[in-house]
Structure 1
């Protein structure tokens, strides 16, 4: 929590600097003087143009006087507009007030509607995940030392799958399957982990694993699902229908996954026509 407020304070200081530094480094008097100097310069240029035009005969004396009066009136109007703008400008106080009040308002809104509990919960979950990873590394090291627990390796494979560590899961299932005598259930889990670890690309190794699993148990669910997906991707829609129908038959009547499988079967049948 201390780190959070430290980072928030640093961000606030940086944002405040972007707003206030330009205000602090540009004096109001200098801005007004610059504007006045520009107006006076334009006035003198106008007078010079009028005199040149009078010299070459474009204007007579009366027109020259009229032009001078008009230039003087324009200079006076510009000066009045500048004074009006200064009177109604924000100055430095308003940007400073806005810059200081914005984070205070944000903090008030956060304390009213925000949730520090969620932040604490997120940090607690992260800490729990770190503890879980450490425990899994210790379990993997222990299994590697004993290397005779098929159940331990298969449990480790499931944990790796839950974390999305598919390559690690594949190796754990492979070791568990070897220790357990290559049962079809572990072969199916191994094939699934290998499938996702390989970027969902079907390979001869996956085909061999699913064939071996289904030869031992034609109702092995994971292997049926994978074989159906492989057949569908390869354009063998009739084979995909066969695998998925066999998969649906292994599920209880109330299983919600049956509806999803039924949709896949219907789509494969339409494409097979």
Structure 2
């Protein structure tokens, strides 16, 4: 945080300079004002004008142009005008250029104090501490997910009103199987952020799985409250689809999952729901819809890679079935953007993926531009695209890129933990 306060001090320097600048110019301004007042002839000019107008008025009286009464009125008006002009130019004594200097340091202190107090209430110092905590754990020789959770729990005590603390702890608890703590963190987040539909949906989903996939009165209440705010909320619709599927109500499950897919952004989750629709249709004895079927491994004719992804059985307890799986292909040198990306959920594993030009992030970097690629598979409980401590991963180097239909699938086992 030292660098942050140094940056604040540097930003305050221009403000301090603007406050001090008038003091540096005070003497010159004082001397200029004194010289101006010493050489000011405004009063003499006003008296000279009065005399000329009075002489002109007296000459008009002598010529008979005006009578005595008119002369008296015009003379009174001239005298009143002279009095007003001379009164206006009267000035207070010029003070010393050093007077009032004590106000400047008081203003400086007020500016600095106000800035510091404002930042304490409205700044992001707490979020910077969270970022530094994450970096410290990543760079620590013995850094681990357990250490990261302990450090975040310390921040939860120090920053109980910071919603980012609880939004970070919630997926960590869920990922490590600490369901009760995950619920507590999510409820803290809801208390701070309000009863927003996405947060209520996650709480409903968490309690739903904690209760053995049963719609208890508490879960039902959360579902109803969520749907009242957002009838298209995909997390809740997916939950209701699972409940209907477990009860054998396959038509209801298909309806819920289709509505969820229409409002979901995560492609991996959408593909998982499509697979659920396909299974439900099979159990009903009807032909699966074309739109409900994921792209089959034989659907690609261009160069690509067929990869079979599985999760080490010893790590299955460390992640939720809803955790996101990222399958990424990169060039061997690591100089280009990702050549292809696919997503799924842990519940889909083991699964076979086809990576080709259709999975490219941009036309400038795709698998049809290389002969070999490196495969990286990562499980992210938080769903973030960047690696986080505690993510699971597996990789495979120098994988040949060729016609997908003529090649066997390569296998990648997720068996390591990102520290």
TM-score bin (small chain): 0.3 to 0.5
Higher strand residue share? 2
Alignment TM-score, normalising by the size of structure 2: 0.31
Higher relative contact order, structure no. (Cα contacts within 8 Å, ≥ 6 residues apart): 2
Q: Which has the higher helix share?
A: 1
> Normalised by the size of structure 1, how large is the TM-score?
0.46
